[in-house]
């Protein structure tokens, strides 16, 4: 049988899914053991026990200096910034995207501006954000917004414009005005694409979050990683990175489930995953 | 061109007077002079690209004519679509995010809720009952809770018709409504449309590629074609209504058209035989 036609069974697929992860773990363990055997104080590839110690210290023991449980304090601070940044971006993206996509007069005015802003690398204006918005929360949230908002606006605009013209004409023959068509015909149909656009931009949002925290913050996952980098504390950095990956995965899964539950018509046959 | 209905003293619902449609030098339609009485069922047939859709769009209000007058009840045709003229397209007429019942209710809700576009409470119940009645009338009473993507092509077109009819439009525009359907389902749809037309006293304009469909459904057939062609400059002359045939009168169908219909019918039979093999 041709390779392209051979499909794994359910159980084989599960094994194949897990295989690369298991391999990575084995390779790490072997490499770490080899280095530690040569030099027990090696910091680059810590042993599993030092990871356990580090996690115990960061997550389940109060910090000696502040009395906080650092991992949870960092997670809370980071997630708060991320939620505000992504939430505000999604809201702006939805409103401006639908308006741009539906109303030619607004599109003519706003679309070139959005395109121009989206061409600016957000990291390049990070210093400006710190100068204008200070070193507090606002500048980090603004970095996320400036980073992902133009993408969301443009995606939603395209989604709105790609609604079949027949639908919009039909709605007009049903006596609807522009506003009614916007809220009853267009808005509900671009909500599922908004959720998938948010899922896709979450990666960038994390990037801007960590970058912002690395430069100016007093807590946060990105702040912690960059702080302890000075001590080559890989036993803390690696669990933090893994934790960020888990959080990102959970967010993606939650958004996907919300979309499936809330918009069955979008995920039915002919719809998108 | 003489109109067989002009002797009628009733005001025509649609008047098309010396209408031309041109894009720059490209003339699409020329010298259209047509009157339509309320209650007529007009089939518009003709080759692809001869301006059938342009004519329908002018009636819908999405395209403006270049010269002449298009009148609705003696007033100039509104420049955008509104509830006086319902439409059913070949596809995409139903809203995918609403189930069948909600799709039909939408038109009635628009009228009642200018700001929220959504009606609640007792009013909603009334609208719901009316919409269910309409769905039952088009044979979709059992599928009220289904989304359009769960309906077959024929059922989707039934839904699109019910959706348009809840606004009680006086004019219904059908843009190749059955073009994508199987022959058997087409027949059912023909029956439905004929029934609705007769019961509700609608004025219907239907574009079709299927000549026999045009002739069997319509009370009047417009054949669009270019009577003059300049081979060096094909866009120099536009299409006209070359035949305006009233089917309920004794007027004979021109022999050229008769042969066309017969030819098409035999071709279709041949196709069906082939598919049966």
* Chain A residue with Cα closest to B110: A176
User: Within this chain, do residues B50 and B1 fall inside the same structural domain, yes or no?
Assistant: yes
Write down the pLDDT at residue A273.
Answer: 44
Task: Give the integer Cα–Cα distance in Å for B226 and B234.
Answer: 10
* Residue with the two structure tokens 């295989």: A19
User: Within this chain, do residues B26 and B39 fall inside the same structural domain, yes or no?
Assistant: yes
Confidence of residue A226 (pLDDT cuts 50, 70, 90): very high
Residue A135 pLDDT greater than 90, yes or no:
no
Write down the pLDDT at residue A145.
Answer: 94
Domain spans, chain A: 59-267
Residue ending a domain, among B122, B143, B168, is B168
What CATH superfamily classification does A59-267 receive? MetI-like (1.10.3720.10)
Write down the pLDDT at residue B277.
Answer: 40
- Taking an 8 Å cut-off on Cβ atoms, the answer to whether B81 and A268 are in contact is no
Strands B203-207 and B26-36: unpaired
- Taking an 8 Å cut-off on Cβ atoms, the answer to whether A173 and B169 are in contact is yes
User: Within this chain, do residues B161 and B266 fall inside the same structural domain, yes or no?
Assistant: no
Q: Alpha carbon B199 to chain centroid distance?
A: 17
User: Within this chain, do residues B39 and B116 fall inside the same structural domain, yes or no?
Assistant: no
Write down the pLDDT at residue B256.
Answer: 64
Give the mean model confidence (pLDDT) for residues A224-230.
91
Write down the pLDDT at residue B120.
Answer: 86
Write down the pLDDT at residue B272.
Answer: 53
Mean of pLDDT over chain A: 92
Task: Give the integer Cα–Cα distance in Å for B149 and B139.
Answer: 17
Write down the pLDDT at residue A271.
Answer: 45
User: Within this chain, do residues B259 and B200 fall inside the same structural domain, yes or no?
Assistant: yes
Q: Are B196 and B34 in contact (CB under 8 A)?
A: no
Write down the pLDDT at residue B274.
Answer: 53
- With an 8 Å Cβ cutoff, the interface of chain A facing chain B consists of 164, 166-167, 169-177, 179-180, 183-185, 188-189, 263-266, 268-271
Give the mean model confidence (pLDDT) for residues A27-56.
91
B270 CB-contact burial (10 Å; exposed 0-12 / middle 13-18 / buried 19+): exposed
More confident residue, B237 or A205: A205
Confidence of residue B237 (pLDDT cuts 50, 70, 90): confident
Lowest mean pLDDT: which of A72-86, A164-178, B77-91, B233-247? Answer: B233-247
More confident residue, B238 or A138: A138
Percent of chain A with pLDDT over 70: 98
Tokens of A21: 């992860």
Task: Give the integer Cα–Cα distance in Å for A212 and A21.
Answer: 30
User: Within this chain, do residues B220 and B262 fall inside the same structural domain, yes or no?
Assistant: yes
Residue ending a domain, among B151, B168, B185, is B168
Question: Min CA distance, B269 vs chain A (Å)?
Answer: 32
Confidence of residue B253 (pLDDT cuts 50, 70, 90): low
Q: Are A202 and A251 in contact (CB under 8 A)?
A: yes
* Chain A residue with Cα closest to B163: A174
Intra-chain end-to-end CA distance of chain B, in Å: 47
User: Within this chain, do residues B96 and B152 fall inside the same structural domain, yes or no?
Assistant: yes
* Residue with the two structure tokens 């996907």: A256
* Chain B residue with Cα closest to A179: B115
Taking alpha carbons only, the member of A112, A98, A86, A85 closest to residue A153 is: A98
Interface test with B, best of A173, A180, A193, A194 (most B CBs within 10 A): A173
Any chain A CB within 8 A of the CB of B92? yes
- pLDDT tens for B99-137 read 999 999 999 999 988 888 788 888 899 999 999 999 998
Q: With a cut of 0.85, is the ipTM above it?
A: no
Mean of pLDDT over chain B: 84
Q: CB-CB: which of B85, B95, B109 is closest to A173?
A: B85
- pLDDT tens for A239-257 read 999 999 999 999 999 999 9
Residue range(s) defining the domain that contains residue B123: 92-168
Residue B152 pLDDT greater than 50, yes or no:
yes
More confident residue, B186 or B256: B186
User: Within this chain, do residues B37 and B27 fall inside the same structural domain, yes or no?
Assistant: yes
Residue B49 pLDDT greater than 90, yes or no:
no
Confidence of residue A270 (pLDDT cuts 50, 70, 90): very low
Residue B11 pLDDT greater than 50, yes or no:
yes
Between the CA of residue B238 and those of A16, A179, B23, B68, B256, what are the distances in Å? 65, 38, 11, 15, 21
Any chain A CB within 8 A of the CB of B93? yes
Any chain A CB within 8 A of the CB of B95? yes
Count of domains forming chain B: 2
Question: Min CA distance, A160 vs chain B (Å)?
Answer: 14
Taking alpha carbons only, the member of A19, A42, A45, A41 closest to residue A31 is: A45
* Residue with the two structure tokens 């073009």: B179
Write down the pLDDT at residue B239.
Answer: 84
Q: CB-CB: which of B80, B81, B149 is closest to A268?
A: B149
User: Within this chain, do residues B2 and B120 fall inside the same structural domain, yes or no?
Assistant: no
Residue ending a domain, among B168, B201, B216, is B168
Task: Order the strands of the B67-72 sheet from edge to edge.
Answer: B26-36, B14-23, B67-72, B75-76
Write down the pLDDT at residue B2.
Answer: 47
Confidence of residue B226 (pLDDT cuts 50, 70, 90): confident
User: Within this chain, do residues B255 and B216 fall inside the same structural domain, yes or no?
Assistant: yes
Q: Where are the beta strands (DSSP E) in chain A?
A: none
Task: Give the integer Cα–Cα distance in Å for B19 and A247.
Answer: 65
- Taking an 8 Å cut-off on Cβ atoms, the answer to whether B167 and A183 are in contact is no
- Taking an 8 Å cut-off on Cβ atoms, the answer to whether A263 and B97 are in contact is yes
Q: Are A272 and A197 in contact (CB under 8 A)?
A: no
Residues in chain B: 277
Write down the pLDDT at residue B230.
Answer: 81
Give the mean model confidence (pLDDT) for residues B243-259.
66
User: Within this chain, do residues B223 and B251 fall inside the same structural domain, yes or no?
Assistant: yes
User: Within this chain, do residues B104 and B47 fall inside the same structural domain, yes or no?
Assistant: no
Which CATH number fits the domain that encloses residue B56?
3.40.50.300
Between the CA of residue A272 and those of A179, A259, A269, B110, what are the distances in Å? 27, 11, 8, 29
Q: At what angle do helices B121-137 and B100-112 cross, to 10 degrees?
A: 130
């Amino acid at each position: 049988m041709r390779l392209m036609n051979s499909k794994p069974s359910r159980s084989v697929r599960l094994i194949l899914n897990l295989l690369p992860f298991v391999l990575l773990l084995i390779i790490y363990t072997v490499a770490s053991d080899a280095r530690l055997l040569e030099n027990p104080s090696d910091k680059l590839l810590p042993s599993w026990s030092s990871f356990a110690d580090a996690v115990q210290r960061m997550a389940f023991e109060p910090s000696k200096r502040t009395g906080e449980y650092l991992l949870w304090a960092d997670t809370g601070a980071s997630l708060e910034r991320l939620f505000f940044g992504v939430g505000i971006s999604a809201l702006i993206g939805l409103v401006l995207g639908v308006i741009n996509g539906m109303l030619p007069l607004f599109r003519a005015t706003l679309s070139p501006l959005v395109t121009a802003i989206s061409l600016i690398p957000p990291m390049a204006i990070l210093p400006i954000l710190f100068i204008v918005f200070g070193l507090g929360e606002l500048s980090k949230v603004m970095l996320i917004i400036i980073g992902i908002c133009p993408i969301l606006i443009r995606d939603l605009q395209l989604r709105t414009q790609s609604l079949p013209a027949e639908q919009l004409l039909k709605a007009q023959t049903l006596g609807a005005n522009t506003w009614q068509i916007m809220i009853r015909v267009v808005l509900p149909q671009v909500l599922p694409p908004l959720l998938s656009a948010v899922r896709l931009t979450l990666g960038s949002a994390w990037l801007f979050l960590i970058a912002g925290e690395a430069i100016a913050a007093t807590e946060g996952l990105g702040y912690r990683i960059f702080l302890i980098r000075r001590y080559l504390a890989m036993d803390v950095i690696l669990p933090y990175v893994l934790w960020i990956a888990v959080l990102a995965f959970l967010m993606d899964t939650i958004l996907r489930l919300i979309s499936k539950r809330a918009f069955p018509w979008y995920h039915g046959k002919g719809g998108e995953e | 061109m003489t109109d067989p209905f002009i002797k009628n003293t009733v005001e025509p619902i649609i008047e098309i007077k010396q209408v031309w449609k041109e894009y720059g030098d490209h003339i699409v339609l020329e010298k259209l002079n047509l009157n339509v009485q309320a209650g007529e069922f007009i089939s518009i047939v003709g080759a692809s690209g001869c301006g059938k859709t342009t004519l329908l769009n002018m009636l819908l209000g999405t395209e403006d004519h270049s010269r002449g007058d298009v009148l609705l009840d003696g007033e100039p045709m509104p420049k955008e679509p509104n509830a006086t003229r319902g439409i059913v397209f070949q596809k995409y007429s139903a809203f995918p995010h609403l189930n069948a019942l909600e799709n039909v209710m939408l038109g009635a809700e628009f009228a009642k809720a200018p700001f929220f576009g959504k009606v609640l409470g007792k009013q909603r119940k009334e609208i719901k009952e009316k919409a269910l009645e309409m769905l039952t009338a088009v044979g979709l009473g059992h599928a009220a809770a289904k989304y359009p993507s769960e309906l077959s092509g024929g059922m989707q077109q039934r839904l699109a018709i019910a959706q348009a009819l809840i606004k009680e439009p006086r004019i219904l525009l059908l843009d190749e409504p059955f073009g994508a359907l199987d022959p058997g389902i087409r027949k059912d749809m023909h029956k439905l449309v004929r029934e609705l037309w007769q019961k509700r006293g609608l004025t219907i304009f239907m574009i079709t590629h299927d000549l026999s469909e045009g002739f069997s459904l319509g009370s009047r057939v417009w054949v669009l074609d270019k009577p003059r062609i300049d081979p060096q400059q094909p866009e120099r002359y536009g299409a006209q209504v070359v035949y305006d045939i009233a089917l309920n009168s004794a007027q004979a169908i021109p022999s050229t058209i008769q042969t066309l219909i017969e030819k098409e019918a035999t071709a279709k039979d041949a196709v069906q035989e082939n598919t049966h093999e």
